Amino acid sequence: MDIAEHIRVLADAGYQGLAELHENCQTPFKKSKYHPLTKRQKQRNKTLARKRILIEHVFRKLKVFRILSERYRNRRKRFALRFNLIAAIYNLELNQN
């Protein structure tokens, strides 16, 4: 997986190893039993979560259309087209509200 260097990746805690592959990656800090988070780390985690929640809402909408939640059983060539159409429907719905 190659990601351009200028792209900033906002990932959740499940992608902790991504920082080794991509330098411009932001993942939340993890606390341990003996090393609690500092106030600055907590603030950074909160800021990252505020940005990521918008992405998670989009994922939820795409799962409602079942294009991400189930196995895609149609032609693979049409997956990108259908995915883009569903994203366009979501954007249209978002702009009307």
The residues spanned by each domain of the chain are: 1-64, 71-97
Q: Is the dihedral of CA 69, 74, 78, 82 positive or negative?
A: negative
Residue 1 has pLDDT above 70, yes or no: no
**How large is the C-alpha radius of gyration of the chain?**
17
Total-model pTM: 0.65
pLDDT score recorded for residue 49: 92
Nearest to 28 by CA among 41, 51, 3, 45: 45
Residue 30 has pLDDT above 80, yes or no: yes
Nearest to 25 by CA among 40, 15, 14, 10: 10
Residues 15 and 27: beta-carbon distance below 8 Å: yes
Average pLDDT, the chain: 83
Mean pLDDT over 50-61 rounds to: 85
